[in-house]
């Protein structure tokens, strides 16, 4: 009897801890959202292009081996592919059936090639010439992509480019996406610029899927608390979203300025354009190790069956509050409204 009482007490305590962490994360999100939104009206600094291009150029040759081709990397990417397939591969765009999908931050091209295998044409962009070079090489050696569906890769710095000029001759897209933190090198001002650009580029009814590094990672926090490293446990929350922190985008790379965003900030920024509504939020990497750890020996030692089970747990919990804010990344999906000022509906739980 005492064992039953003790077990129930542990379950209740764990539930209360999760609720408390959710409220704490929500509080930080609201407070920093106010700071960030107030800065939009001011001349917030834009991201320096040279500072971010070089690290990703240096990362291009090892990006696949350090993330994409690892067990954790594959599981995390397959989580996002389910959403990309639902948003783009199975969608029918009545206004422009042949319109391409725009990818922002394509890296070495895995996502573009996956969608191409589903007969979806992608214009894949990245501001790293090294990544673009690697993606083109990978595409040229790929034999699974149907003829006529090969993605086009183009260097584009979305921080300083006006899309309708830079993307010529294409001026409209059936949708857009950015996977695995491609937006976390952008300042809040850059995110606002991007939202306004996409509101002009996406056909009504089109989807925008963004996978962003979040402000609270449950796995990371619990790990560093266990190690008694309190500074790293809450490093993502210690500053406002408007102030980036120096962090590595991959192991053994130089630190650069990274911004950690909350789902609330991204939702506010895009819905402020009056052109988008949120239709989905969920965590990516809730119980799986964070993406930056995918090449660590500790992650490699985890049995594939255990990692597959953790990925299954993610699929069960990641779409519910408060778990959608607890992953290493969060996925947020928008729909382009069919008319300016259309009344926004709340996302479905």
The confidence band for 220, taking pLDDT boundaries of 50, 70 and 90, is very high
Higher pLDDT, 91 or 337: 337
Q: What is the pTM of this model?
A: 0.80
Compute how many other C-beta atoms are within 10 angstroms of the C-beta atom of residue 267.
20
Single out the residue of 32, 19, 59, 76 nearest to residue 286, CA to CA. Answer: 76
Instruction: Give me the DSSP letters along 300-349.
Output: HTS-HHHHHHHHHHHHHHTTSTTGGGSSSEEEEEEEE-SSTTPPPPPPP-
User: Pick from 98, 78, 64, 56: which is nearest to 254 by CA?
Assistant: 56
**CA of residue 222 relative to chain centroid, distance:** 22
Choice between 255 and 128, residue whose per-residue pLDDT is larger: 128
- 243 pLDDT higher than 70: yes
Angle, to 10 degrees, between the axis of helix 188-201 and the axis of helix 2-40? 80
Mean pLDDT of 206-212: 97
How many angstroms separate the CA atoms of 222 and 227, rounded?
9
Judged by phi (left if over 0) then psi (alpha if -120 to 50, else beta), residue 100 lies in: beta
Render the burial of 113-126: b for 16+ CB within 10 Å, e for the rest: bbbbeeebbbbbbb
In whole angstroms, what is the distance from residue 88 CA to residue 102 CA? 11
Per-residue pLDDT reduced to its tens digit, 179-188:
999 999 899 9
Asked if 252 and 243 touch (Cβ cutoff 8 Å), the reply is no
Higher pLDDT, 278 or 19: 278
* pLDDT tens-digit readout, 76-109: 999 999 999 999 976 544 444 468 999 999 999 9
Q: What is the dihedral sign for C-alpha 110, 319, 181, 65? A: negative
């Amino acid at each position: 009897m005492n064992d039953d009482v003790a077990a129930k007490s542990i379950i209740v305590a764990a539930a209360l801890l999760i609720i408390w962490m959710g409220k704490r994360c929500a509080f930080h999100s609201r407070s920093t959202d106010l700071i960030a939104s107030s800065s939009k009206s001011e001349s917030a600094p834009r991201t320096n292009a040279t500072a971010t291009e070089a690290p990703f150029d240096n990362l291009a040759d090892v990006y696949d081996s350090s993330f994409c081709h690892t067990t954790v990397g594959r599981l995390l990417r397959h989580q996002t592919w389910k959403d990309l397939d639902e948003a783009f591969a199975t969608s029918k765009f009545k206004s422009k059936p042949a319109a391409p999908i725009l990818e922002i931050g394509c890296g070495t091209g895995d996502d573009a090639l996956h969608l191409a295998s589903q007969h979806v044409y992608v214009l894949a962009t990245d501001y790293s010439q090294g990544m673009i070079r690697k993606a083109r090489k990978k595409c040229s050696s790929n034999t699974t992509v149907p003829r006529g569906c090969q993605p086009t890769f183009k260097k584009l710095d979305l921080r300083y480019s006006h899309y309708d000029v830079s993307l010529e001759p294409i001026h409209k897209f059936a949708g857009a996406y950015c996977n695995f933190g491609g937006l976390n090198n952008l300042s809040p001002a850059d995110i606002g610029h991007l939202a306004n650009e996409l509101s002009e580029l996406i056909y009504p009814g089109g989807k925008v899927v963004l996978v962003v590094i979040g402000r609270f990672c449950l796995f990371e926090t619990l790990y560093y608390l266990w190690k008694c490293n309190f500074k790293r446990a809450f490093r993502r929350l210690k500053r406002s979203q408007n102030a980036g922190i120096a962090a590595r985008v991959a192991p053994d790379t130089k630190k650069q300025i990274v911004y950690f965003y909350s789902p609330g900030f991204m939702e506010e920024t895009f819905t402020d354009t009056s052109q988008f509504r949120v239709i989905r939020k969920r965590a990516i990497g809730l119980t799986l190790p964070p993406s930056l750890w995918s090449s660590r020996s500790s992650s490699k030692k985890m049995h594939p069956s255990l990692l597959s089970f953790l990925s299954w747990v993610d699929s069960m919990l990641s779409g519910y509050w408060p778990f959608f804010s607890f992953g290493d990344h969060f996925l947020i999906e928008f729909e382009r409204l069919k008319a300016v000022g259309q009344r926004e509906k709340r996302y479905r739980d």
